Amino acid sequence: MTSVRDVYDFLDRFAPFASQMEFDNSGLQCGDFGACVQQCLVCLDVTPQVIEQAARAHCELIVAHHPVLFRARKQLLSSDPAWLLARHGIACIASHTPLDCCAGGVNDLLAEALGLDAPTLLTPLIRLCTLPAPMPAKAFAELVSRKLGAPVRYRDAGAPIRNIAICAGEGCHFLEEAYACADAFLTGDAGHHDFLDAAQHGLALLAAGHYETEIAIVPALARRLRAAFPSVEWHIADEYGGIQYA
């Protein structure tokens, strides 16, 4: 029998929950460590639609990248995902920044999706990649757009780029880490002033979408979990409706 604790411990071995950033809330979000798991759904975000998909598939557990409980709250209404999880009796484990930081995690998968070889660790959360030859920021933005199948917002800092810092999701809090060693910073979300600040420091900034820069972790994590727990039926959430099997 596979339990919620077994899945938690497996995740903890390659993406330790103790490695999470101070602002994070990874770990068991709700449920019982001792509960049996025969059906499990893997997703990026725990939305009401995803919970409904999990309930239809009779899942006892959801493994998510983003925490369902992230900021402090003073009420849980009937439409709240945490309330819906409890209503359906579904446990939830989230691995957010631990999966960002670990080897083979979100940022390594993003580098791989872009064809960037041998990323090195700039900080626990940021990977540094080197292009085979310098290219204009516009050309690199077009490459990222093709690889991820999504539009890319960018600001050129006026020089060719070769060394690229990567931080999927919302990474602009870490721009300063890249100023001394990178020509460009690639992340998911960026605000107007992030583009201005980066350009003032000679750094091209590209924003390729929070979802688009992180979604590769879902099928990769499902494959890893299925190999570890073959007796469990593993599902991948189609976060726009429907369920696919891993």
pLDDT tens digits, one per residue of 99-130: 999 999 999 999 999 999 879 999 999 999 99
Pairing of strands 204-207, 184-187: parallel
Whole-number pLDDT of residue 246: 55
- Percentage of the chain beyond pLDDT 90 is 91
Whole-number pLDDT of residue 243: 47
Whole-number pLDDT of residue 244: 52
For residues 111, 215, 194, 124, the Cα torsion angle rounded to the nearest 10 degrees is -60
- In DSSP terms, 43 is beta-bridged to 64
Whether 160 shows a pLDDT value over 60: the answer reads yes
pLDDT average, residue stretch 83-100: 97
Task: Give residue 206's identity as a one-letter amino acid code.
Answer: L
CA dist 23 to 20, 50, 83, 116, 185, Å? 8, 25, 23, 29, 22
pLDDT digits (tens, 9 = 90+) for 146-157: 999 999 999 999
Provide the pLDDT confidence category of residue 75 given band limits of 50, 70 and 90.
confident
Provide the pLDDT confidence category of residue 241 given band limits of 50, 70 and 90.
very low
Residue 88 phi/psi, 5-degree rounding, is -85, -5
Residue 99 phi/psi, 5-degree rounding, is -75, -25
pLDDT digits (tens, 9 = 90+) for 193-227: 999 999 999 999 999 999 999 999 999 999 999 99
Whole-number pLDDT of residue 240: 56
Whether 233 shows a pLDDT value over 80: the answer reads yes
